[in-house]
Amino acid sequence: MDNLENMEQAQESAVKRIGVLTSGGDAPGMNAAIRSVVRSAYRRGIECVGIRRGWAGLINGDIFPMGGSDVSRIINRGGTVLYTARSDEFRTEAGQAKAAATCKLLGLDGIVAIGGDGTFRGARELAKHGVSVVGIPGTIDNDIGCTDYTIGFDTAANTAVECIDRLRDTMQSHERCAVAEVMGRHAGYLALQVGLAVGATAVLVPEYPFDFDEHVAEKIRRARLSGKTNYIIVVAEGAVSAVAVGERIKSELGLDPRVTILGHIQRGGAPTMKDRVMATRMGFEAVQMLAMGKTNRVICAVGERIVDRDITEALEMKKTLNPEEFVVMKAMTGV
């Protein structure tokens, strides 16, 4: 053990100070990841600074030192204490050069960037200016190709399930149909998992072309023939307009649906145990990568393992809906 610790200290000696930021859409569990980065750095004798408002904050020098007391009691909080923003300036070569100059001025030996694909692309560009970077996947959509899991997904899914369970109570009481729209502009992971969990009559995702008769009308008819008098339709926002689906249900099936768009309520709230644990493990691994002198890495979940991948390779990887889950969903809907 002593030899291992000596090896770690030898590897880490070149890294004195790192920064951590959150970028893109916020996700429950980001604070747990920030906490983990700060405390893991402290354990290794590395200073850590917080960068407010993502890449824009790095350009503007919106930075402050972070210690143990700064991350106390944030593991249970939703959102991000570092705030988040998108930066058009950082998309330019000049903006990236400014951000790199800030790192040089403040003696930052590396950056841990928490966010989605856009955040990782920004990190990769910053690395071209000589800054060591490691990315941690944080998005409620769970749509990053290189990782099986992204921070925030479990909390968002549970929030949506709780809301739709409440909708079901009133739909049963009035024998009505509810159309519930969840987030997922380009990906249906959230809608698919939530639909399975709430026993939805139909689930619409952007990965499959929308056909009202096949995917909604026939599902409701089959459910009615089996004795049901209330129906839950779960729609990913990128699949089709929930309002349009509700209008067609009314005009073509003669039902009186209620449309509920859950929206940004899915982003907030205390993270679940899974999100807290995954965020903590990923934050620890991110600091370890920088301490070992590694750069251009993304921390990923492969099953229950935490691994790291090259950032360019990670950005090229694609992700599709789990075909087994989709088959199960089709079998469970409309009955």
Residue 26 and residue 43 in contact, taking contact as beta carbons nearer than 8 Å:
no
CA distances from 286 to 48, 82, 188, 297, 306 (A): 13, 18, 28, 8, 10
What phi, psi does 3 have (nearest 5°)?
A: -60, -40
The residues assigned a catalytic role are 141
**Rounded CA separation 234/219 (Å):** 12
Residue 152 and residue 271 in contact, taking contact as beta carbons nearer than 8 Å:
yes
Q: Where are the alpha helices (DSSP H) in the chain?
A: 2-12, 30-43, 54-60, 93-106, 117-127, 153-174, 189-198, 212, 218-225, 242-253, 273-291, 311-316, 323-332
In degrees, rounded to 5, the angle at the alpha carbon of residue 287 between the alpha carbons of residues 68 and 5 is 90
**H-run or E-run covering 49:** strand 47-51
**Rounded CA separation 124/117 (Å):** 10
* DSSP states along 202-228: EEE-TTS---HIIIIIHHHHHHHHTT-
Residue 17 and residue 50 in contact, taking contact as beta carbons nearer than 8 Å:
no
**Rounded CA separation 273/76 (Å):** 9
**Rounded CA separation 9/44 (Å):** 8
**Rounded CA separation 193/301 (Å):** 18
Cβ neighbours for 248, distance < 8 A, ≥ 6 positions apart? 212, 216
